[in-house]
């Protein structure tokens, strides 16, 4: 697998399929016994996972395009609905990339700042599928969706792994009552005497690729998966499943359904990522330039987003003396170091320097601590303003991308 892994990114799930495993299941029904249990909200398809390979197949990986079809425009896929849709557009707006969608039912839009690029609105899982089929070149989706539907395909490259929205994690949850009351870890769950080949641990999940893969990697044998499109948290109370594997963000849905997470049960930490098709980047004219521009804007905005600019005045005899005082405090070193400039005052007709102005960037989380430290070394008149962009000399992720593409 050669998916770009920025150093601070969690392991991108690698496929447990062997290279010879067909990516498309010939027919899901041939691999699964369909229970025929249709309920109002939950439609479950249950499988024995004695054959993990067949379970994996219901993750329905799309076929890969054999060739890159010629077209003039670079295509960026954005979520058409759901909780990521507005955030993705807002993020681009914050990067001065304005998506012009004439009406919400129109699935194609323009970004005037990127004239060779068109936006296509699609469901997140379809963005991943269409990246693989070559119908999209770039996309913004959650890492969970990318991992589930991309199945570790080496054509998918994570260009930016932390777009700062859509934070959640994919996790196993079990009831906090009954036989599970004292079970608090995956190990304890696996070792419960209740599970056997005839009566496996039943897990309801929408993640039919990542779920079986995780269980296999953790050596859990007696497990059977069922799937549904939503409201999975109801499955244990309905008696359909023993556990669920689903996304958790605030934890409210679990709590409201008397479920709990367990130690060792987190499959994946997720947030929105920018993903590209390797073949598009290498073979499609203009794609690499577009990615470079989007990446630069994203990095400049996201880096600035976590910081404030802090300006303060400080008495001193020289810039060096003030610098020494400022740098004696752990939170005041800024990005590269404080900028210190003389403040010129006119006294008795003469220009003198009694004060120096200090400018530093401070992580938002460390703001109050930094203000306290500034005061401690004589800082006064502290002004705090938001930072909009930080354009560095180069973007580290661009270098990583070029290395990954062997360019």
Ligand X SMILES: O=P(O)(O)OC[C@H]1O[C@H](OP(=O)(O)OP(=O)(O)O)[C@H](O)[C@@H]1O
Ligand Y SMILES: Nc1ncnc2c1ncn2[C@@H]1O[C@H](COP(=O)(O)OP(=O)(O)OP(=O)(O)O)[C@@H](O)[C@H]1O
Of ligand X, ligand Y, none, which one sits near residue 166, judging by CB under 5 to 8 A according to partner kind? Answer: ligand Y
Name the residue among 279, 281, 251, 284 with its Cα closest to residue 266. Answer: 251
**Burial class of 263 by CB neighbour count within 10 A (0 to 12, 13 to 18, 19+):** exposed
Where on the chain is the footprint of ligand Y (CB under 6 A)?
82-84, 124, 142, 144-145, 166, 168, 229-230, 247, 249, 270
Task: Compute the least distance from the CB of residue 150 to ligand Y, in Å.
Answer: 12
Of ligand Y, ligand X, none, which one sits near residue 144, judging by CB under 5 to 8 A according to partner kind? Answer: ligand Y
Q: Give dist(CA 273, CA 162) in Å, integer.
A: 6
Q: Show the tokens assigned to 232.
A: 């999975």
Task: Compute the least distance from the CB of residue 21 to ligand Y, in Å.
Answer: 25
Task: Compute the least distance from the CB of residue 141 to ligand Y, in Å.
Answer: 7
DSSP 184-246: -BHHHHHT-TT--SSSPEEEEES-TTHHHHHHHHTT--SEEEEE-SS-GGGHHHHTS-SEEEE
Complex with ligand Y: residue 137 or 144, whichever CB lies closer: 144
Q: Show the tokens assigned to 129.
A: 């599928």
State the chain's maximal CA–CA distance in angstroms. 96
Which of the 8 DSSP states describes residue 60? Answer: -
Complex with ligand X: residue 171 or 404, whichever CB lies closer: 171
DSSP element (H, E) containing 367: helix 367-376
Complex with ligand Y: residue 86 or 238, whichever CB lies closer: 86
Task: Compute the least distance from the CB of residue 84 to ligand X, in Å.
Answer: 10
Of ligand Y, ligand X, none, which one sits near residue 84, judging by CB under 5 to 8 A according to partner kind? Answer: ligand Y
Of ligand X, ligand Y, none, which one sits near residue 231, judging by CB under 5 to 8 A according to partner kind? Answer: ligand X
Of ligand Y, ligand X, none, which one sits near residue 145, judging by CB under 5 to 8 A according to partner kind? Answer: ligand Y
Where on the chain is the footprint of ligand X (CB under 6 A)?
230-231, 233, 246-253
Task: Compute the least distance from the CB of residue 250 to ligand X, in Å.
Answer: 3
């Amino acid at each position: 697998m050669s998916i770009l892994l920025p150093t601070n990114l969690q392991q991108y799930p690698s496929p447990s399929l062997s290279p010879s495993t067909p990516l498309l299941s010939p027919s899901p029904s041939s691999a699964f016994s369909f229970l025929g249990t249709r309920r109002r909200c939950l439609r479950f398809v249950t499988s024995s996972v004695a054959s993990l390979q067949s379970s994996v197949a219901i993750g329905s990986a799309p076929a890969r395009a054999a060739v890159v079809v010629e077209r003039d425009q670079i295509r960026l896929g954005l979520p058409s609905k759901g909780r990521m849709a507005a955030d993705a557009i807002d993020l681009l707006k914050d990067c001065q990339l304005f998506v012009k969608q004439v009406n919400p039912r129109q699935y194609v839009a323009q970004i005037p700042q990127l004239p060779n690029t068109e936006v296509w609105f699609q469901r997140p899982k379809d963005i991943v599928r269409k990246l693989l089929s070559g119908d999209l070149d770039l996309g913004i989706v959650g890492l969970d969706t990318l991992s589930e539907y991309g199945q570790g395909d080496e054509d998918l490259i994570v260009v930016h792994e932390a777009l700062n929205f859509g934070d959640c994690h994919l996790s196993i949850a079990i009831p906090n009552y009954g036989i599970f009351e004292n079970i608090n870890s995956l190990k304890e769950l696996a070792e419960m005497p209740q599970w056997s080949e005839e009566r496996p641990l039943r897990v309801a999940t929408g993640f039919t690729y990542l779920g079986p893969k995780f269980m296999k990697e953790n050596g859990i044998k007696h497990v059977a998966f069922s799937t549904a499109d939503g409201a999975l948290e109801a499955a244990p109370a309905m008696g359909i499943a023993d556990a669920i594997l689903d996304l958790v963000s605030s934890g409210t849905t679990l709590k409201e359904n008397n479920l709990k997470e367990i130690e060792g049960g987190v499959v994946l930490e997720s947030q929105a990522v920018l993903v590209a098709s390797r073949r598009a980047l290498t073979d499609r004219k203009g794609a690499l330039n577009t990615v470079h521009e989007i990446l630069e804007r994203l990095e400049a905005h996201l880096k600035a987003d976590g910081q404030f600019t802090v300006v303060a005045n400080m008495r001193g005899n020289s810039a060096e003396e003030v610098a020494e005082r400022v740098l004696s405090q752990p939170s005041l070193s800024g990005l590269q170091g404080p900028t210190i400039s003389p403040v010129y005052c006119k006294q008795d007709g003469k220009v003198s320097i009694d004060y120096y102005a200090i400018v530093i960037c401070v992580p938002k989380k460390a703001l109050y601590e930094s203000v306290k430290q500034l005061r401690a070394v004589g800082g006064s008149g502290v002004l705090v303003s938001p930072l909009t962009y930080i354009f560095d000399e180069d973007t580290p992720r661009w270098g990583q991308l070029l290395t990954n593409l062997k360019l």
